C-alpha cells in the first residue's frame, strides 16, 4: 500500500470526463473530487441539448454537482447552466463579471473555485470575447499534475477563437494567450472549448511550437485574424441573448 498510494495520491482525487456535443462541436468538462465524502463536482461549458446526458452521468457516478460554469458567453450554442439549475437544486452558475451576463457567482482574474479539496484558478483571457476566462487546476501538492487549463475559445488545438464580434480583439487575445496560458508549465494539458478536426487535448508546449497563429508575432497574428472571412455564426442571434441569462429566456 505504502509506495503505491504515495505515487498515485496527487492525481487520484480528480475524476475527469471530457464530453462532446456534436452539433456545435463543443466540449463540456466534468470534474469532481472523489476523495471527498460528498464527491463535489462541476461542469464547464455545458450545452443545453446535452444536459440530460451530463446529469445522468453525474448521477451514475454518485457525484454532487455544485457548479455549472461558463468560460464565456457563447455565440454558437445555448448554455445548459440554466436548465441544470432547474433540474438540480443548489447548483450555482458561474461566469466572469466582465461578461456582463447573469449568473449566481461572478468570477474575476485570480479568483479560486473550490470543489472539495481541489480548486480551479481563474485567469482572465479576453480577446475572443471581452469576458473570456481560462480555468486552470490548482498549483499545489494535492492538485492534479500536470495542471489542466480549460481555455474555452481563447486557445484551441492548433487554433484560436475568432475575434471579430462580442468585444473581440486580436491584440487582446494575443496578449492573453502569451501572458496567461503560454506562461504555464509546458506540460500543462490544454482542454479547448471546441474542436472541429477530432483533436481532444494539447499541451502548452505543443501549442507554443505548432499553433499556426499564436506562434507568429503580434502583427502577423493580427492580419491572420483580420483575414479569416468567417461567416456570421448560425446560432448567434438566438444564442447570445439566451446566454446572457444562463440560457433561459421567458
Ligand atoms: Fe465562443
Instruction: Please write the tens of the pLDDT for every residue from 198-211.
Output: 999 999 999 999 99
Q: Measured between alpha carbons, how far is 209 from 243 in angstroms, rounded to an integer?
A: 34
Report yes or no on 21 lying in a domain: yes
The number of domains in the chain is 1
Give me ligand 1 centre to Cα 60, in Å.
Answer: 30
The whole-number pLDDT of residue 110 equals 98
The answer on pLDDT for 5 being more than 60 is no
Q: Which three cell numbers stand for residue 171?
A: 491584440
User: How does residue 3 score in pLDDT terms, banded at 50, 70 and 90?
Assistant: very low
Give me ligand 1 centre to Cα 165, in Å.
Answer: 10
Number of neighbouring beta carbons within 10 Å of residue 44:
23
Q: Measured between alpha carbons, how far is 223 from 209 in angstroms, rounded to an integer?
A: 20
Give me ligand 1 centre to Cα 47, in Å.
Answer: 12
The mean pLDDT value for 23-29 works out to: 97
Give me ligand 1 centre to Cα 97, in Å.
Answer: 16
Residue 52 or residue 5, greater confidence: 52
Report yes or no on 250 lying in a domain: no
Give me ligand 1 centre to Cα 37, in Å.
Answer: 35
Report yes or no on 3 lying in a domain: no
The mean pLDDT value for 94-121 works out to: 97
Q: Is 200 helix (H, G, I), strand (E, B) or coil?
A: coil
Give me ligand 1 centre to Cα 162, in Å.
Answer: 8
Report yes or no on 163 lying in a domain: yes
User: How does residue 234 score in pLDDT terms, banded at 50, 70 and 90?
Assistant: confident
Provide the 8-state DSSP code for 233: P
The answer on pLDDT for 12 being more than 80 is no
Report yes or no on 5 lying in a domain: no
The answer on pLDDT for 10 being more than 90 is no
The whole-number pLDDT of residue 146 equals 97
In whole numbers, what is the pLDDT of the chain averaged over residues? 94
The whole-number pLDDT of residue 77 equals 95
Give me ligand 1 centre to Cα 201, in Å.
Answer: 17
User: How does residue 250 score in pLDDT terms, banded at 50, 70 and 90?
Assistant: low
Give me ligand 1 centre to Cα 76, in Å.
Answer: 7
* Per-position DSSP letters for 20-68, written without gaps between them: EETTTTEEEEEEEETTSTT-EEEEES-BGGGHHHHHHHHHHTT-EEEEE
Highest mean pLDDT among 8-22, 98-112, 223-237: 98-112
The answer on pLDDT for 160 being more than 90 is yes
Report yes or no on 215 lying in a domain: yes
Give me ligand 1 centre to Cα 22, in Å.
Answer: 15
Domain that holds residue 124: 10-226
Give me ligand 1 centre to Cα 89, in Å.
Answer: 27
Q: Measured between alpha carbons, how far is 208 from 206 in angstroms, rounded to an integer?
A: 5
The answer on pLDDT for 101 being more than 70 is yes
The answer on pLDDT for 155 being more than 60 is yes
Q: Measured between alpha carbons, how far is 159 from 178 in angstroms, rounded to an integer?
A: 14
The residues that bridge with 26 in the sheet, in sequence order, are: 21, 194
Instruction: Please write the tens of the pLDDT for every residue from 186-199.
Output: 999 999 999 999 99
CA separation (Å) from 186 to 147, 182, 183, 197?
10, 8, 8, 23
Report yes or no on 238 lying in a domain: no
Task: Find, among 39, 47, 53, the residue nearest to 68 by Cα.
Answer: 47
Per-residue three-class SS string for 93-150 = EEEEHHHCCCCCEEECCCCEEEECCEEEEEEECCCCCCCCEEEEECCCCCCCCCCEEE
Give me ligand 1 centre to Cα 150, in Å.
Answer: 13
Instruction: Please write the tens of the pLDDT for every residue from 54-90.
Output: 999 999 999 999 999 999 999 999 999 999 999 999 9
Q: CATH no. for residue 100?
A: 3.60.15.10
Give me ligand 1 centre to Cα 238, in Å.
Answer: 14
Report yes or no on 235 lying in a domain: no
Q: Measured between alpha carbons, how far is 198 from 220 in angstroms, rounded to an integer?
A: 27
The whole-number pLDDT of residue 4 equals 45
Amino acid at each position: 500500500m505504502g509506495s503505491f498510494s504515495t505515487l498515485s495520491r496527487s492525481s487520484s482525487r480528480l475524476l475527469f470526463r471530457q464530453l462532446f456535443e456534436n452539433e456545435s462541436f463543443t466540449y463540456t468538462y466534468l470534474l469532481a473530487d472523489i476523495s471527498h465524502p460528498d464527491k463535489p463536482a462541476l461542469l464547464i461549458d455545458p450545452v443545453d441539448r446535452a444536459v440530460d446526458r451530463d446529469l445522468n452521468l453525474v448521477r451514475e457516478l454518485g457525484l454532487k454537482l455544485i457548479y455549472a460554469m461558463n468560460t464565456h458567453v457563447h455565440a454558437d450554442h445555448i448554455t445548459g447552466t440554466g436548465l441544470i439549475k432547474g433540474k438540480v437544486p443548489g447548483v450555482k452558475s458561474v461566469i466572469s463579471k466582465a461578461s456582463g451576463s447573469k449568473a449566481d457567482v461572478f468570477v474575476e482574474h485570480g479568483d479560486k473555485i473550490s470543489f472539495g479539496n481541489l480548486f480551479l484558478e481563474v485567469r482572465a483571457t479576453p480577446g475572443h470575447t471581452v469576458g473570456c476566462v481560462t480555468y486552470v487546476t490548482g498549483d499545489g501538492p494535492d492538485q492534479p499534475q500536470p495542471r489542466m487549463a480549460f481555455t474555452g475559445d481563447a486557445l484551441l488545438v492548433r487554433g484560436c477563437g475568432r475575434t471579430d464580434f462580442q468585444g473581440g480583439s486580436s491584440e487582446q487575445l494575443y496578449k492573453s494567450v502569451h501572458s496567461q496560458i503560454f506562461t504555464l508549465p509546458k506540460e500543462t494539458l490544454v482542454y479547448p472549448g471546441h474542436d472541429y478536426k477530432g483533436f481532444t487535448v494539447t499541451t502548452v508546449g505543443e501549442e507554443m511550437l505548432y499553433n499556426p497563429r499564436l506562434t507568429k508575432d503580434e502583427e502577423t497574428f493580427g492580419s491572420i485574424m483580420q483575414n479569416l472571412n468567417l461567416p456570421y455564426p448560425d446560432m448567434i442571434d438566438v444564442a447570445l441573448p439566451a446566454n446572457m441569462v444562463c440560457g433561459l429566456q421567458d
